[in-house]
Structures are given as structure tokens and as C-alpha cells.
Amino acid sequence: MSSNVRLALSAIISFVFYFAWSYWANSLVTDNVNVLLRSAFVQGSLSATITILFTFILEKTVGKFEKSYVSLVFIVPIICTVHSRTKQNIAIFKTFKSILDKSATYLSNNSLPGAAFAPLLPIGIQGAIAITVNIANQTPNLWLTVAPSIIITAIYGYIYTFTLLLSKPVQPVSQD
């Protein structure tokens, strides 16, 4: 199955599921059919659109991080080093990066693939968009409407990430 077909199918499934979910979740608090249909259509459309956006961002971040490894001991310094682009901070970042690379190589049994963090950015974007759009839509039962979307998106993101990683052939390491 091609990437585009897989993406379109995911968007359609996402629309249908979240349309039905939103209709049911909001029917618990209102009998107004117009509000129910509007909320269901907004959530279904939003979920389908975000599935496409989410998958695009996810594929880009997996591509960027799939060959990287992050030592569990050094996650906080990595996050803190990208603070500013001054000459001093760039020098500090290069020093940290060199130390972290050497440490991650040395501690390879205690490291995670960088791709394990790839879904975090798209999950954060998806959650923020879903909450904002549903607040703007005045969805009656906001948290019951968006929480499953965020949780299922996170699960989907990690499954999709590891599927991408497992589907790529491993290149042999040259003996130089």
C-alpha cells in the first residue's frame, strides 16, 4: 500500500470515528441536533485534517532522528542547549554535543533511538489545535471530545514511527 493511500485511508477512518465519537460525547450534555452535528462535523474534519498534517510532520521528524541516539542520562542538557544562537551558546552547544555524542556511544546500552522522541512534536501540535478549535466551536463536552483524539493520536504516532523504522532496510556498517 502506498504512503498516499495509507494516509487517505487513515484520514477517512479518523473522520468517521471522531464524527461518531463527538456526536455521542456531546449527546450526553445536549439534545440540540444542530449543536451535535456541528460539533461532530468539526471534530471529524479536524481529526482527518490533523491525521494528514500529523503524519507529514511525523515522517519528517522520524527521517531527521532515525539515525540519532540520545543517552538517557543527558536528555535535560540537550533540551537546555538550544536556548539561544549567540556565539557563546553555539560554542557551548558544540562542546555539549561532542561530549554527548561520545557519552551516548560509550553508554549505547543505555540509549534510546532519537526517533522515540519524534512523535512528541506532532502530538503537541495536534493536542493544541484540537483543544483550540473545539474551544472556538464551543463544544459542550470539550474534554470528553478531545481526550480520546489526543491519546489515540499518541498511540498512532508511536506505532507509525516504529513501523517506519522497521520497514526501512538496515544498511551494513562498513569496516574502515
Average pLDDT, integer, range 75-95: 61
- Is-contact 103 72, C-beta < 8 A? no
Q: Kindly report, residue by residue over 115-135, the tens digit of the pLDDT.
A: 677 788 888 888 898 899 889
Please tell me the predicted confidence (pLDDT) of residue 71: 52
- Can you list the alpha helix ranges (DSSP code H) found in 66-119? 75-81, 87-106
- Cα-Cα-Cα-Cα torsion 94, 96, 101, 103, nearest 10 degrees, comes to 160
Q: Which amino acid is at 137?
A: N
Q: Kindly report, residue by residue over 4-50, the tens digit of the pLDDT.
A: 787 888 889 989 998 999 999 889 999 999 999 999 999 899 889 98
Other residues' Cβ atoms within 10 Å of the Cβ of residue 78: 17
Please tell me the predicted confidence (pLDDT) of residue 176: 47
Contacts of 154 (CB under 8 A, 6+ apart): 119, 123
Average pLDDT, integer, range 50-72: 72
- Is-contact 156 118, C-beta < 8 A? no
Question: Which of 30-34, 143-147, 162-166 has the least mean pLDDT?
Answer: 162-166
- Is-contact 165 66, C-beta < 8 A? yes
Please tell me the predicted confidence (pLDDT) of residue 41: 94
